[in-house]
Chain A
Amino acid sequence: MNAALEARDLIKRFGGLVALDGVQFAAAEGEVLGIIGVNGAGKTTLMNCLCGLYQPDEGEIRLAGEDVTGRTPHEIAARGVGRTFQVPRVFRRMSLIDNLLVPVLRRRATDRALIDQAETMLERMRLIDLRHNFAEELSGGQQKLLEMARMLMPDPRVVMLDEPFAGVHPTLCRFMIEQIEAMAAERKTVLLISHDLTSIYRLSHRVLALNQGRVIAEGGVEAIRGNPAVIEAYLGA
């Protein structure tokens, strides 16, 4: 069977800098794949390549077996890929409901059905009372939740979360962890990017460690935790 998401030998250069240097991995349906690495290891670049924002210079990206390398971001989104951002990127001067409608604008369903769906989603994310507010009026943590809700609206098969717990207080953090576990339970493939190892180790089924654009280790949480190369990348000079 094909992996839900697969990257082969991805190379991405920015001028002289090689941001991704032959990254390769596969993630299965319902799997939570943690991607760790220090700042500048290439985590966000990898995510931007996977969702089509950057074109990789070499390599191949496959979604459920289909080659999507070189596709635009909206084409990849239409194939069931959703994401959040390190710093929330909500549509600032649109209501929360409208924010959630953006990813499903091309669905055939009636406006009324989509709005109902959006309200249900906002209820799940505990934002329902704010549904008519502009997104810019939310707090940072609420914006993270809004992004998560927006990502889940079209029921994507693959979701990518970029530093979901950065700057989020512990209560909210727990709530988000529950949500991520629910996504995996819904058989979604979850890519979880973070430099915070605790939450990654707790949630991930498997972990990919990046350093300077290369995969330096890959495997179960226990194996990664004790991997000397990972420890060196995090602690070494």
Chain B
Amino acid sequence: MNRPNPSSRSADRERADRIYYTLAALLGGAVILYFAVVPFVGANLAFHFYLMLWITMASGFNVSSGFSGYMPFGYVAFYGVGAFTTAILVKKLGFPVLLALPFSGLAGLVLALLFAPTLRLSGIYFAIVSLALAYICRLVITNMPEEMTGGSFGIQLGSQAEPVLSFYVMMATMMLALGTILWLSRSRLGKALRAVRDDAEAADMMGVNITRVRLYGWLIAAFFPAVCGGVEAWYTNIVDTETAFNTLITAKTVIYAIAGGLGTVSGPIVGALVMVWLDELIWRQFPLLNLLILGLATVLLVLFLPRGIVGTLLRWRPAWRRYVP
């Protein structure tokens, strides 16, 4: 029997961990470097701003669907509420933007707590309820008094625009999201979440407090889109219900996350990079067919690449699972 003895096993483990963290550092470093220089070299600021936004959104969604096994098809609710929180705090209460943004995150957490009872649903029930709740959020905000949410014209943030600063704030948000997920994927909470995803009852009987674990995952997943909404409101200087609660935001988030592959740190990054570039290229060529192609891409993705780019790679080379963040 040629079985590795305990000491060679632990050496093997350390080697795998080294590769994992080296890859994570390389990936993170490349991402930081790439985005940090954008404003200096005069690259397209808006394009890269949204690229980071989608990476963050897809990564947040990954926590919910890749780690916890929930598909929130009303994910846009957190984004929209975050956008309106920042807009209202800045415009109506005179908060400085940088102080308002954490409150957007907080609003996302509060909303997640309000929606927490839906976590006992699973699969398709959860998806439909989440979708309906997003519509309710939108309707409620649309019908709030005009002096608060600006009615159908929305809220103009006025002279707050600082494209470069908001670009870097978006970057910080993205790095925070990626760092959180890197931590989560190695942490005990992450293992508990995955166990609950695969078989909640069995996890419960193995001593995992499934209600608490699910809630933690849900809060992490809700925080980042809410901050994204706030930063985007600052960047574009305007918020209205039509765009802030647009279901396409959910659609794009889901598609980008799945295109990369759920359950890994790198999946949503790869997915967002590939798909946002593709989207941009298509949009330049055929502006009218943009939506059509986005929809068809979703269908094709589900049919032919349901595990996404990274997921398919890891299925093909299972041994790499230990090395790829």
Give chain A's interface residues, CB within 8 Å of chain B.
Answer: 51-53, 72-74, 76-78, 82-83, 85, 89-95, 98-99, 101-103, 105-106, 111-112, 115-116, 119-120, 123, 128-129, 132-134, 137, 150, 154
Contacts and interface: CB of A to CB of B under 8 A. Distances in A.
Max chain B C-beta neighbours (<10 A), residue from A73, A106, A112, A150: A73
Interface string B188-217: 100110110111011111111110000000
Contact of A51 (B9, B10, B205, B209): B205
B3 A128 contact: yes
B207 A98 contact: no
B145 interface: no
A236 to B, nearest CB: 35
Interface in B82-139: none
A182 B194 CA distance: 31
Given A77-B207, A95-B321, A102 B191 contact: yes
B206 A77 contact: yes
Contacts of A89: 199, 201-202
Contacts of B13: 115
A99 B192 CA distance: 10
A111 to B, nearest CB: 8
B87 to A, nearest CB: 40
Contacts of A53: 201, 204-205
Contacts of B195: 91, 94, 98-99, 102
B6 A119 contact: yes
Contacts of B321: 95, 132, 134
B263 interface: yes
A78 to B, nearest CB: 5
B6 A72 contact: no
Contact of B198 (A51, A83, A92, A119): A92
B202 A106 contact: no
28 contacts: A52-B205, A72-B204, A73-B204, A74-B205, A74-B208, A74-B209, A77-B206, A77-B207, A85-B202, A89-B202, A90-B202, A92-B199, A93-B197, A95-B321, A98-B195, A99-B195, A102-B191, A102-B195, A111-B188, A112-B10, A116-B6, A123-B3, A132-B318, A132-B319, A132-B321, A132-B322, A133-B318, A150-B206
A85 B201 CA distance: 11
B191 A101 contact: yes
B205 A116 contact: no
Given A93-B194, A102-B191, A132-B318, 15 more contacts: A53-B201, A53-B205, A82-B206, A83-B205, A85-B202, A90-B199, A91-B198, A93-B263, A101-B191, A102-B203, A103-B206, A105-B192, A120-B6, A133-B318, A137-B318
A120 B9 CA distance: 11
Contacts of A92: 198-199
Given A115-B13, A132-B319, A132-B321, A74 B207 contact: yes
Interface residues of B, number: 29
A91 B203 contact: yes
A30 to B, nearest CB: 23
Contacts of B3: 123, 128-129
Max chain A C-beta neighbours (<10 A), residue from B3, B199, B203: B203
B188 A77 contact: no
Interface in B7-47: 9-10, 13
Interface in B157-209: 188, 191-192, 194-195, 197-199, 201-209
Contacts of A77: 204-207
Given A132-B319, A132-B322, A134-B318, A103 B207 contact: yes
Contacts of A74: 204-210
A207 B210 CA distance: 34
Nearest to A88: B202
Max chain B C-beta neighbours (<10 A), residue from A52, A91, A103: A91
Given A102-B192, A106-B207, A154-B207, A116 B10 contact: yes
Contacts of B319: 132
A133 B205 CA distance: 23
Contacts of B192: 102, 105
B120 to A, nearest CB: 13
Contacts of B207: 74, 77-78, 102-103, 105-106, 154
Max chain B C-beta neighbours (<10 A), residue from A72, A102, A103: A102
Contacts of A120: 6
A129 to B, nearest CB: 7
A74 B203 CA distance: 8
A94 B205 contact: no
A220 B202 CA distance: 32
A91 B210 contact: no
B206 A102 contact: yes
B205 A73 contact: yes
A85 B13 CA distance: 31
Nearest to A92: B198
Contact of A119 (B9, B197, B199): B9
A102 to B, nearest CB: 5
Interface in B286-325: 318-319, 321-322
